[in-house]
């Protein structure tokens, strides 16, 4: 019989309050089971919670800020897990490296940013046909990597998805190509409550624009990515609205939260992933396959002795001698500035990195060297290939990297969707 831990025992082990432990169970950070009306936690789930960094609320402030002190947020997801380990770990299946690994399925990426999700889907074998992004620097990066370096035939320009002209240009660029998958991570700030209805306000209609485009293109499958905090926005009404709106245009949706570290990314990064289809297929989510998480040290070791090289985004920040001493004195897992524990943080060498965030300066300290991590090292922690080059100034490189979906997470999602398409003989 399994030996379980109680909430009280975990509180004593970690120095956290029982209320805090309950919040982590409610947020699905800490896996637990209800046994005789009491929460019980397996030792291996406790170990994963500690080693993944999910026990640190600073790694996901969005979720805990929105949750407040509520402990009734446990998700009841209906998830169809599918094994993706072989396709995600063997080099011969990598469509980013090998043209013969491409599967013949096409996709469109809305809100593409620099192309993290697109890169991952390309690894999974999909072919990018079109993308939409409004940040000029990100568009420059996307065009360089996907069009100039990989030779994909895409019309990549800076464009605002809210414009009818832009939507028409998107449709024209797709032409008669069959789109099997459409993906996008829409901003969610524009949701609000009016009376008893969830509405999108005038500040942000991007969610509805994506809905319109999906309804027009009608791909077999869709994938939507967002911050985990979306799930608890307006007491779950936002998630309900998304599922309902897509059902109205013919898509059945399944949703759950995925942690990038479970798919080979050397970083704790949790995102809510909606997967839907209109063909009566199964919405598969990729089954986690990492038994031991990849660590920050394993990922950035190769850059330890590498001199500055701006051509590959390995750009050093200039620190005074006094600042270098301060950086070296910061213990692993701590921050240079006590009041800002999620900034200037030194993630441990032998654990996954904390979440790489959008930033304009040095947020992540190197565990062993007297400097902050370079854009190249941060891109590696996001799981970008070393040949993926970011354009723009260092400031905008950091923004693009922090905003991106980790490619290895995208690869796992892509493999899951591919298996569903094959199953339906598409």
Catalytic residues, by residue number, are: 188
Strands 181-184 and 106-110: parallel
3-state secondary structure of 246: helix
Which regions of 313-360 does DSSP assign to beta strands (E)? Answer: none
The answer to whether 419 and 82 have CB atoms below 8 angstroms apart is yes
The Cα–Cα gap between 160 and 170 comes to 11
**Which sign does the torsion angle of CA 370, 375, 380, 385 carry?**
negative
- Residues 217/200, Cβ–Cβ less than 8 Å: no
How far apart CA 236 and CA 230 sit, in angstroms, is 8
* Whole-number Å distance between alpha carbons of 111 and 117: 10
Query: Could you tell me how far CA 159 lies from the centroid of its own chain?
Result: 23
């Amino acid at each position: 019989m399994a030996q379980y831990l109680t909430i009280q025992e975990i509180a004593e082990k970690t120095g956290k309050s029982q209320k805090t432990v309950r919040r982590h169970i409610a947020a699905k950070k800490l896996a637990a089971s209800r046994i005789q009306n009491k929460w019980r936690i397996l030792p291996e789930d406790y170990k994963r919670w500690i080693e993944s960094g999910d026990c640190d609320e600073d790694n996901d402030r969005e979720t805990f800020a929105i949750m407040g002190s509520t402990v009734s947020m446990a998700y009841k997801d209906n998830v169809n897990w599918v094994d993706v380990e072989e396709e995600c770990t063997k080099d011969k299946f990598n469509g980013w490296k090998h043209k013969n690994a491409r599967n013949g399925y096409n996709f469109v990426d809305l809100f593409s940013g620099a192309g993290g999700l697109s890169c991952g889907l390309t690894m999974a074998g999909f072919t990018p046909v079109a993308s939409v992004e409004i940040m000029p620097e990100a568009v420059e990066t996307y065009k360089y990597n996907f069009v100039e370096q990989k030779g994909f035939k895409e019309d990549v320009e800076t464009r605002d998805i809210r414009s009818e002209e832009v939507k028409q240009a998107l449709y024209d660029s797709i032409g008669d190509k069959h789109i099997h998958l459409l993906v996008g991570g829409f901003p969610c700030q524009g949701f609000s409550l009016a009376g008893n209805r969830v509405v999108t306000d005038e500040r942000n209609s991007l969610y509805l624009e994506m809905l319109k485009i999906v309804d027009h293109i009608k791909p077999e499958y869709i994938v939507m990515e967002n911050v985990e905090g979306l799930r608890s926005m307006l007491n779950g009404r936002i998630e309900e609205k998304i599922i309902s709106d897509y059902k109205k245009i013919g898509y059945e949706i399944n949703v759950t939260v995925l942690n990038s570290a479970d798919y080979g990314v050397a970083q704790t990064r949790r995102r809510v992933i909606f997967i839907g289809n209109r063909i009566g297929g199964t919405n598969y989510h990729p089954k986690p396959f990492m038994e031991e998480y990849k660590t920050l040290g394993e990922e950035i070791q190769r850059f330890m002795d590498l001199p500055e090289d701006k051509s590959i985004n390995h750009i050093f920040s200039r620190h005074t001698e006094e600042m270098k001493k301060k950086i070296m004195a910061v213990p692993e897992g701590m921050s240079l500035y006590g009041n800002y524990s999620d900034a200037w943080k030194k993630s441990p060498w032998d654990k996954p990195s904390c979440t790489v965030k959008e930033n304009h300066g040095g947020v992540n300290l190197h565990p062993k060297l007297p400097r902050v991590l370079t854009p190249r090292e941060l891109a590696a922690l996001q799981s970008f290939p070393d040949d993926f080059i970011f354009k723009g100034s260092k400031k905008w490189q950091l923004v693009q990297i922090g905003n991106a979906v980790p490619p290895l997470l995208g690869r796992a999602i892509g493999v899951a969707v591919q298996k569903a398409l094959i199953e339906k003989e598409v």
